Amino acid sequence: MELSERITQITTGGSDGWETFYRARRMIAKGIDVTELTIGEHDIRTHPDILNAMHVAALGGHTGYAVVPGTQSLRTTIANRIQERTGVRTTANNILVTPGGQAALFAAHHATCDPGDTALYVDPYYVTYPGTIRSVGATPKAIITTPETGFQPTANALDLAAKGAKSLLVNSPNNPTGAVYSDATWAAIAETCKKHDLWLISDEVYDTQIWDGAHISPRALPGMAERTLVIGSMSKSHAMTGSRVGWICAPQDVITHLINLATHTTYGVAGFIQDAAEFALKQGALVEADVAAPFQRRRAISMDILQKQDIVKYVPAQGAMYLMLDIRATGMTGQEFANALLDAEKIAVMPGESFGKAAAGHIRVAMTIDDARYAAALERLIQFATNQVPK
Ligand code: PLP
């Protein structure tokens, strides 16, 4: 029996740069003390007050089938938050609650692309992007960025790629590069979408983690609200990665179709999780700043350490919880470096190659362990890189 091409092609197979990650996991399982700087998981857990709200909601009986689009009060809370931040009129009818940002990315592509359509994304990219696009039968097409432009897509590259495409997926603040798109980049993105009649899918799951510059949501740019689907999530902003709760904010007619899709796929998000998400959002921006604070501190620690040497190059992360380090001076690929670093120093990082062509010769470091261990690991990583430079 043959499975569908759509499902068998989600991941294209072969090496995808995740070997180091799985090797690190196996070493940890054997009891080896590995410093884990691979994935974007906080070193704190969900706040007990949020867990208490979840507990109270579950005991209060919110455990039955949930309302598929999301509870009216959570949708309204999300809409208010978006309207306050962007100034764009937003109501509950513009919101679908989803089981996390990933489900929202899938639904957004399902809503905008037919099989065979070209869907654009920016390289380096969050690992699931091409697979998400392939899973709806569309063809992913990368727009390559470079360290020289701070990993921001240029007007020219956007325009060249856009002809005949159906959608454009962007992510600012960016995983893996830490880029926060500038006014000029957003203007070019909006221009391209309007000129080539593209849907814009804007992944804003790191919108509470900005260290330099300001977060702009492209839905607020002139003429963009009717063609933009914004992806949001409680995972990064509230350390709720395991709760699986996020949203799509889009024009009302798009949401109507997305509710139909949700009815036939996820059937919504558990009611007690939705109540906890609503409680968390109602705690306001200070709580979000608390969750983001460790990454801001470690980003500052990183800049201090990195400035003292010139072997490991970097584009300063303007947002998110990662550093993208250029280790090309060692003569190694990101994959070779990550493997050798794991063997020699027991430090696990992601090879840049797992995030696309543009990140070759780089490694991504997740700033997700306590400050002192983090600083020591970064110092060791730099010393290791320095020792690898051909004499
Ligand atoms: N988008 C980006 C850029 C991410 O880095 C992640 C997770 O790491 C997600 C989306 C998915 O997040 P979640 O499904 O936990 O909301």
Three-state DSSP state, 366: strand
Q: Does residue 40's CB lie within 6 angstroms of at least one atom of ligand 1?
A: yes
What's residue 20's pLDDT? 86
Determine the residue type at 54.
M
**Cis, peptide link before residue 69, omega less than 30° from 0:** no
- How far is ligand 1, taken at its centre, from the CA of residue 223, in Å? 27
| pTM across the whole model | 0.96
- How far is ligand 1, taken at its centre, from the CA of residue 151, in Å? 19
Strand partners of residue 35: 347
Would you give per-residue pLDDT tens digits along the chain (391 residues)? Answer: 999 999 998 887 545 667 888 999 999 999 999 999 998 899 999 999 999 999 999 999 999 999 999 999 999 999 999 999 999 999 999 999 999 999 999 999 999 999 999 999 999 999 999 999 999 999 999 999 999 999 999 999 999 999 999 999 999 999 999 999 999 999 999 999 999 999 999 999 999 999 999 999 999 999 999 999 999 999 999 999 999 999 999 999 999 999 999 999 999 999 999 999 999 999 999 999 999 999 999 999 999 999 999 999 999 999 999 999 999 999 999 999 999 999 999 999 999 999 999 999 999 999 999 999 999 999 999 999 999 998 8
Q: Does residue 203's CB lie within 6 angstroms of at least one atom of ligand 1?
A: yes
Q: What CA–CA distance (Å, rounded) separates 287 from 342?
A: 35
Q: What CA–CA distance (Å, rounded) separates 160 from 149?
A: 17
Q: What CA–CA distance (Å, rounded) separates 4 from 135?
A: 10
What's residue 11's pLDDT? 84
Q: Is 313 exposed, middle or buried (0-12, 13-18, 19+ CB in 10 A)?
A: middle
Q: Does residue 361's CB lie within 6 angstroms of at least one atom of ligand 1?
A: no
Q: Does residue 101's CB lie within 6 angstroms of at least one atom of ligand 1?
A: yes
- How far is ligand 1, taken at its centre, from the CA of residue 2, in Å? 31
Nearest 5°: the CA angle 187, 317, 97 is: 65
DSSP output for 3-27 = PPHHHHTSS--S--S-HHHHHHHHH
Q: Does residue 98's CB lie within 6 angstroms of at least one atom of ligand 1?
A: no
Token couple for 32: 């080896």
| Nearest to 341, CA basis, from 367, 364, 357, 359 | 364
CB atoms within 10 A of CB 69: 22
Q: Does residue 354's CB lie within 6 angstroms of at least one atom of ligand 1?
A: no
Question: Whose Cα sits closest to atom 16 in ligand 1?
Answer: 101
Q: Which domains does the chain have, with CATH numbers?
A: 5-45+286-388 (3.90.1150.10), 64-283 (3.40.640.10)
- How far is ligand 1, taken at its centre, from the CA of residue 100, in Å? 8
Token couple for 184: 């000029």
Q: Strand 347-348 vs strand 350-351: parallel, antiparallel, or unpaired?
A: unpaired
What b-and-e string marks burial along 224-261, b requiring 16 or more CB atoms within 10 Å of the CB? bbebbbbbbbbbbbbbbbebbbbbbbbeeebbeebbee
Residue 199: φ, ψ to 5°: -75, 140
Of 105, 129, 175, the one to substitute when testing ligand 1's pocket (max ligand atoms within 8 A of C-beta) is: 175
| Nearest to 177, CA basis, from 363, 317, 75 | 317
Nearest 5°: the CA angle 313, 42, 277 is: 130
Three-state DSSP state, 328: helix
| Nearest to 8, CA basis, from 108, 135, 127, 141 | 135
- How far is ligand 1, taken at its centre, from the CA of residue 175, in Å? 9
Length of the chain: 391
